[in-house]
Amino acid sequence: MKHQMMEISNETRESIIRRLLVLLQDKYGNDLLFFGLKGSMARGDFDQRSDIDAFGVINGDKSNSFDLYYGDISINLSLLTFDEACRKVTSLSGGW
We report the CATH number of the domain holding residue 41 as: 3.30.460.10
In-domain check, residue 32? yes
In-domain check, residue 63? yes
In-domain check, residue 44? yes
In-domain check, residue 17? yes
| CA nearest neighbour of 66 among 8, 31, 33, 23 | 23
Cα distances from 82 to residues 18, 27, 45, 50, 85, in angstroms, run 22, 17, 28, 28, 5
Count of the separate structural domains present in the chain: 1
Residue-wise pLDDT tens digits, 68-81: 988 888 899 999 99
Has residue 6 got a pLDDT over 90? no
Cα distances from 52 to residues 41, 66, 82, in angstroms, run 7, 12, 22
In-domain check, residue 59? yes
Residue-wise pLDDT tens digits, 29-80: 999 999 998 888 778 888 877 888 999 999 988 989 999 988 888 899 999 9
Domain that includes residue 49, residue range: 10-90
Task: Kindly report the pTM of this predicted structure.
Answer: 0.77
Instruction: Please give the Cα distance from 58 to 63 (Å, whole number).
Output: 8
